[in-house]
Structure 1
């Protein structure tokens, strides 16, 4: 006998998958937010698997989608193209799309692609979920006369 479980936020709370070169984990910290944790290399061979996991979340009822790149060892052109496509799709649907920066190689790839000009990467998942980029703008202190 086969049973079909209803798909609820709790059911998606800890979905993990592995493909050669990359590990992906999906978590749902709130009922309106989804976090895709990526570890390993994101290149032409692994980007399709990330797309398979990410695309349905951009079409779901999620209000915020976060891609956590903090454990990525390599971010290639295919990964950058995927992030760009996902960001555009999210914007078209009114979904907040946020990226958590990673090691130096990820930061360099994001900067080289001009990603940081359009979207400020977040330092942590918590800041991405709160919408805080970690960048503080402080007004200049003027001397009193």
Structure 2
């Protein structure tokens, strides 16, 4: 009986080591897949997301491979913006932000407050037509591929 307990503990230890190895980060592999950040920028904070200044207009991308990819996104808290910038960097595409005329505040994004803007918009379909700073993309016909990103909450999880 003692030998089986020792064997069980050893097997569990090996499984633990393998799971840590499998879930561990491979910084060398990840850094080659992610775009490098410019060393001339000194923002004071380090972020894994590529720095891509985005306005309500399509950004100019000098590394674009023909300008056939567009990433259109809406992001109230910045998570979808991060994903959109990764996609744009990986595809060499242009970025277009859907920016509301009245930006969302932290109070607006409080899903636990029944009086917040997001809860009101969720419960009232007529309130979902939000006025945007810019709603059309210049040269729309020039794009072959369009990625669309928006936040979606389902089953209590935030998805992009």
Q: Which bin holds the TM-score, normalised by the shorter protein?
A: under 0.3
Q: If the length of structure 2 is used for normalisation, what is the TM-score?
A: 0.23
Q: If the length of structure 1 is used for normalisation, what is the TM-score?
A: 0.25
Greater relative contact order: 1 or 2 (C-alpha under 8 angstroms, separation 6 or more)? Answer: 2
- Higher fraction of strand: 1
